[in-house]
Amino acid sequence: MTGPEVVAHRGATAEAPEHTLAAYRDATVVGADAVECDVRMTRDGVLVCVHDRRVRTTSNGRGVVSALHLAELEQFRFGARRGRRDRWADDTITAVSDEPDVEDGRVLTLDRLLEYVTATPGSVRLAIETKHPTRHAKRVEQELVRSLRRYGLLQADRPAQWGGKPAFRVMSFSQLAVRRVQALVPGVPTVQLIGKRLRAVRTELLAGSMSAVGPGVALVRADPGFVAQAHAAGKEVHVWTANTPADIDFLIGLGVDALITDRPDEALRRLGRG
């Protein structure tokens, strides 16, 4: 493979609402190398693919994911938000989608996504981001590991290998969450996501035990030399969320290892793979 791995952010969210099987299917169809998903835990301990703390932004329901049982979430219709090709700066909220390709609108559990991905092993890898690390203590990471084992993605504590690469990796903005995953299964690749200025965390990151660092594209634009420094320290660089042609080309030129985007088709085209 030449160029960075192309990772579809919450699925191909320019094409279908985030965290729906339709968005993940679109990503696979266009040939994304991996798909990203955010996971949160429900009150009854089920991991679901929902980005925001509250469900009102992506469903017709109300409430906080961690305070609701799965059965309650299943009463809501999900599939409300998607990326828009013409308004990348916005998190544009559209009406709850009536598109037939949003399936039944049921909240997507992590298990349903794993079932989809493992139905054709090797078709697309997974980049799983854990949210809200403190609310449930270690249960999010423990349940994640259980699910990965259940679907054969973790075998004897090693990630399954697809196309010579781990079938999945775990990402978080929380250092605590990354450390917990490393402690539970040391062989799992981890990505420390970064939302702060790189200068403030550079030394710590370069010395850290994560396999990759994940800055936002604006941070890389402000500090492009970071990519070579991270490589010299043996870390991959996975950058989010690159949607404009200019950002995509900039990151390809810098030699980043993974490019997380709402528009995997555009990124693949610019890499000459689409």
Angle at 126 between CA 99 and CA 199, to 5 degrees: 110
Give the x-and-dash track for 28-67 against ligand G3P (CB under 6 A). --------x-x------------x----------------
Residues linked to residue 192 through DSSP beta bridges, in sequence order: 172, 213
* Residue nearer to ligand G3P on the CB measure, 22 or 242: 242
**Contact predicate 79/104, CB 8 Å:** no
| Residue 270 touches which member of ligand G3P, Ca ion, none, C-beta under 5-8 Å by kind | none
Q: Is residue 24 near ligand G3P by the rule CB under 6 A?
A: no
Q: Tokens 């990772």: give the residue.
A: 7
- Distance in Å, CB of 155 to ligand G3P, minimum: 25
Under the criterion CB under 6 A, does residue 263 sit at the interface with ligand G3P?
Answer: no
Return the exposure string of 191-230: e unless at least 16 CB atoms fall within 10 Å of the residue's CB, then b: bbbbeeebeebbeebeebebbbbbbbbebbeeeeebbebb
By the rule CB under 5 A, 18 interacts with Ca ion: no
Tell me how far apart the alpha carbons of residues 160 and 145 are, in angstroms, rounded to a whole number: 13
Residue in 240, 248, 261, 266 binding ligand G3P, rule: CB under 6 A = 240
DSSP string, 100-118: GGGTT-PPPBHHHHHHHHH
Interface positions, 32-91, toward Ca ion (CB under 5 A): 38
- Residues 2-21: x where in contact with ligand G3P by CB under 6 A, - otherwise, as a string: -------x------------
Torsion of CA 215, 220, 223, 228, to 10 degrees: 80
Q: What is the CA radius of gyration of the chain?
A: 18
Rule CB under 6 A: say whether 236 interacts with ligand G3P.
no
Query: In the 8-state DSSP scheme, what is residue 4?
Result: P
- Catalytic residue numbers read 9, 51
Q: Considering the complex, what minimum distance in angstroms separates the CB of residue 191 from ligand G3P?
A: 8
**Binder among 15, 26, 74, 129 for Ca ion (CB under 5 A):** 129
Q: What is the DSSP string of 123-138?
A: S-EEEEEE--TTTTTT
Please, which residue, 102 or 258, has the CB nearer to ligand G3P?
Answer: 258
Q: What is the DSSP string of 16-55?
A: S-TTSHHHHHHHHHHT-SEEEEEEEE-TTS-EE---SSBG
Specify whether the CB–CB gap between 154 and 187 falls below 8 A.
Answer: no
Q: Which is nearer to Ca ion, 26 or 38 (CB)?
A: 38
Nearer to ligand G3P, 260 or 268 (CB): 260
Closer residue to ligand G3P in complex, CB, 74/191? 191
- Binding to ligand G3P in span 243-262, by CB under 6 A: 260
Which parts of 129-158 interact with ligand G3P (CB under 6 A)?
Answer: 129
Given the rule CB under 5 A, which residues bind Ca ion?
Answer: 38, 129
Given the rule CB under 6 A, which residues bind ligand G3P?
Answer: 9, 36, 38, 51, 129, 193, 214, 240-241, 260
